[in-house]
Amino acid sequence: MKIRLSSIFRILLLSGFMLFAFVQCKKDKKTIVEEEINFDEIEETPVSGKIEILVEESIFPVVEDVRDVFESEYRRAKIDLIKKSEQEILMAIFKDSARLAVLPRALDENEKELIKGRLFPKVTHFATDAIVFVASKSYSDSIVDYDSLLKNLKQEKPNEEDQAIFVFDNVNSSVSKQFRKMSGVESFPKNYAYFLPSTEEVIDYVSKNSKAIGIVGLNWLVQPDEKISEKLKTIKVLGVKNPEDGKYYKATQNNIAEKTYPLTRDLYIWDFQGKTGLGVGFSSYIAGYKGQRIILKSGLVPFKVPPREILVKKEL
């Protein structure tokens, strides 16, 4: 009896070892297959192939998040995100060298004329962002009237009662361009408005200067990288005056959605591919249920608020 049990045990042990070896072999083969994918040779479809997307730098984090989830679901898809200023992206569009781009606004009529005669892009609105004012926690106020700011931007010297220095993220960024458009001036007073290369540097400067106010996109504040995350402990977001009701509002998801916060902007994907390729697949994904859930979680406002499923128990 002991001999029989011993034989059975050896058989089970050997079978278990063989099964383990088989499973491990399959895992190793799968890893090798994944590592050897040549995306340049894969046929482009809405869920496979390789593309590049130019992304305006102030809204890069949310697009990167959606891209990462998309690629994890569709292993044969490779999307390279290229961080650029708004001006750089527009120049690429006008030169017909951009196939896909993400911008925090629509093209104006003059810009549409520059691409007239070409295949007009497929445009997908997927979220709403905001422009926010940040200051050091030692800054004397917690609110800002951007109407007064626009008036001062038209002057060579600021009003005496307003000694704050305004710092923008980039001279070619969508944020600074929007303020130039709203103020009606092409260049700001050098003693009143400064430009730094990136959002990170604006936040760093503001955190160390009690009289400075930074003007940046909301996305980097609600989805900060490691360096910005550390600086957020030393700054505060200011409330902004709504000129319609005279009240001050913070850039919360609710205030952005209800348009009570006055400085919002819609985010779009511009697809110049002219075919049903990976650009169409990614655009559909970011504007679909899963993409909109990611955007909602990011702190921005999705184009379509995903429905919430409520489970009702029959018995308590």
Assign residue 67 the CATH number of its domain: 3.40.190.10
Which parts of 218-286 are beta strand (E)?
Answer: 235-237, 239-241, 248-249, 264-271
Give the pLDDT confidence score for residue 285 in this predicted structure: 98
Query: Both 249 and 163 in a single domain?
Result: yes
Q: Which residue has the higher pLDDT, 192 or 271?
A: 271
The rounded distance, in Å, linking the Cα atoms of 169 and 140 is: 22
The rounded distance, in Å, linking the Cα atoms of 193 and 173 is: 14
For 236-273, letters b (16+ CB in 10 Å) and e give bbbbbbbeeeeebbbbbbebbeeebbbbbbebbbbbbb
244 domain residue, yes or no: yes
Q: What is the pLDDT of residues 207-250, one digit of tens each?
A: 999 999 999 999 999 999 888 998 999 999 999 999 999 999 99
Query: Both 166 and 236 in a single domain?
Result: yes
pTM (predicted TM-score): 0.82
211 domain residue, yes or no: yes
310 domain residue, yes or no: no
Dihedral of alpha carbons 188, 194, 195, 198, sign: negative
Q: pLDDT tier at 15 (50, 70, 90 boundaries)?
A: very low
Query: Both 197 and 49 in a single domain?
Result: no
Query: Both 179 and 199 in a single domain?
Result: yes
The rounded distance, in Å, linking the Cα atoms of 276 and 144 is: 46
Q: What is the pLDDT of residues 23-62, one digit of tens each?
A: 455 444 444 444 578 888 899 999 999 999 999 999 999 9
3-state secondary structure of 167: strand
Count, in order, helices (H) and strands (E) of the chain.
12, 13
Structural domain containing residue 60: 39-128+266-302
Residue 132: burial class (beta carbons within 10 Å; 0-12, 13-18, 19+): buried
105 domain residue, yes or no: yes
Give the mean model confidence (pLDDT) for residues 128-156. Answer: 88
Q: For the chain, how many structural domains are there in total? A: 2
Asked whether 39 and 49 are in contact (CB, 8 A), the reply is yes
Strand 77-84 versus strand 193-195 pairing type: unpaired
The rounded distance, in Å, linking the Cα atoms of 127 and 292 is: 8
